[in-house]
């Protein structure tokens, strides 16, 4: 399973659970359903995105193949810009 498939499947699972709670398919108190659940979902989603961003930045150097690929693309871009007469250094 690719990372995109995994992310989509987890997103669909979380969305279906949230909608089941929001549309009262699973009975919960009205205060939780109307006030706490939307705020909790927003904060949790933001925390998840910040965690994924931080983890990606933290482990970037642990992926040597991606680092080499990125550096070769930077070198190629510099060469192309130099041929166009742009000073890149």
Q: Which residue has the higher pLDDT, 37 or 73?
A: 73
Q: Domain extents for the chain?
A: 1-58, 61-89
Query: Does residue 89 surpass a pLDDT of 80?
Result: no
Q: Summarize pLDDT for 20-70 with one digit per residue, the tens.
A: 888 888 888 888 888 888 898 899 989 999 999 998 888 876 678 888 999
Q: Which residues contact 82 (CB under 8 A, 6 or more apart)?
A: 88
Query: Does residue 80 surpass a pLDDT of 90?
Result: yes
Query: Does residue 71 surpass a pLDDT of 80?
Result: yes
């Amino acid at each position: 399973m690719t990372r995109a498939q995994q992310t989509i499947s987890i997103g669909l699972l979380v969305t279906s659970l949230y909608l089941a709670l929001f549309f009262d398919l699973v009975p919960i108190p009205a205060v939780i359903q109307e006030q706490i659940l939307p705020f909790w979902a927003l904060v949790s989603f933001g925390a998840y995105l910040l965690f994924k961003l931080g983890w990606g930045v933290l482990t970037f150097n642990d992926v040597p193949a991606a680092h080499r690929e990125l550096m070769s693309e930077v070198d190629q871009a510099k060469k192309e810009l130099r041929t166009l007469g742009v000073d890149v250094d």
